[in-house]
Each structure stands twice: as structure tokens, then as C-alpha cells.
Structure 1
Amino acid sequence: MNSYLVVCERAEDGGWGAFLPDIDGVVALGRTREEVEDGMHVALGAYLDWLKERGETAPAPSSCEVGFIAA
């Protein structure tokens, strides 16, 4: 099973959004981080099912390292 990097961002209104840098168009929105993470599982699952129905394979996840820089 592949693991994809998910970027979760907090919006100015307090909600959350998430996207996958490796897969354009797979996004999720929610009121909490937990809600947006659950939504991302659903969105990614739907996308992977769609690819399978078309006989296509999922893109390989990129390798990356995550770091934080204090400002």
C-alpha cells in the first residue's frame, strides 16, 4: 500500500483544508483537523477506486522529508 504526503492547513476562519502534492485535485475540507483527515481518506479512496475502474494505476508517491523552521 502506498503512503502519500498530506498537507493540512488551517484557514483564517478556523476551518481546515488538505491536499495531496502528488495527486492534483484530491482535496478535503473540514471544521476540524480530524474531520479534514477523515475527508482526505474518503477522497483518496474514491480517486483510487476511479483509477481502478478505468484500468489505471495510482501515481507513485514522491519521497520527501518534512521539516519545520522557526521564524
Structure 2
Amino acid sequence: MSGYVAVVRQRDDGGYTSWSPDLPGCTAAGDTFEECVRLMREAVSFHLDSLRQKGLSTPPPTAVAAVVIQAPSELFSEP
């Protein structure tokens, strides 16, 4: 079984937002990480169902490797 990549990012207000690079326009947001992931799963399902109902093809998931790039914390501090 293949799956779509979802990027989840914490917002400045403490909530979370998510989007899928494979499914433009497919987004979700939640107050917690878990809520955001749950809503993103629902959004992906809804998005794919909508494409099928319109007779459009569904894009294949992109093969991805997760990589975390470490950088010195001072690069992230405000001037």
C-alpha cells in the first residue's frame, strides 16, 4: 500500500498546519499535532474522492525519504 506525504508544521500560535506536495490544495489545520494529522487524513480521502467523482485521475504518491537537516540554533534566532 502506498501513501501520500503530508508535511506537518507547527505554527507560531502553537497550532499545526499540514499540506501534501502531491495534492495541491489539500490542507488541514488543528490545535494539536494529532488533530492536524487526523484532519489531514480526512482531507486526503476527501480530495481523492472528489477527483474520482469529477472523472479526474489521482496523482501517484511521490517516493520520498525523510531527512532532517541539522543547523546551528543561532541561525533560527531573531536578530
Q: What TM-score do you get using the length of structure 1 for normalisation?
A: 0.91
Q: Please tell me whether Structure 1 or Structure 2 has the larger radius of gyration of its CA atoms.
A: 2
Q: What is the CA distance between 1:39 and its match in structure 2?
A: 0.5
Identity of aligned residues (%): 34
Matched, 1:48 2:48: yes
- Partner of residue 66, structure 2: 66
- Partner of residue 38, structure 2: 38
Give the RMSD, CA atoms, in angstroms.
Answer: 1.1
Unaligned runs of 5+ in 1: none
Unaligned runs of 5+ in 2: 72-79
Q: How many residues align?
A: 71
User: In the TM superposition, what whole-angstrom CA distance separates every residue of 1:6-65 from its partner, at most 9, and x where no partner exists?
Assistant: 100000110000000111000000000000001101111111111111122210111111
- Partner of residue 20, structure 1: 20
Q: What residue identity is the alignment partner of 2:27?
A: V
Q: What residue identity is the alignment partner of 1:17?
A: T
Distance (whole Å) between structure 2 residues aligned to residue 23 and residue 59 of structure 1: 7
Q: What TM-score do you get using the length of structure 2 for normalisation?
A: 0.82
Identify the structure with the greater strand proportion.
1
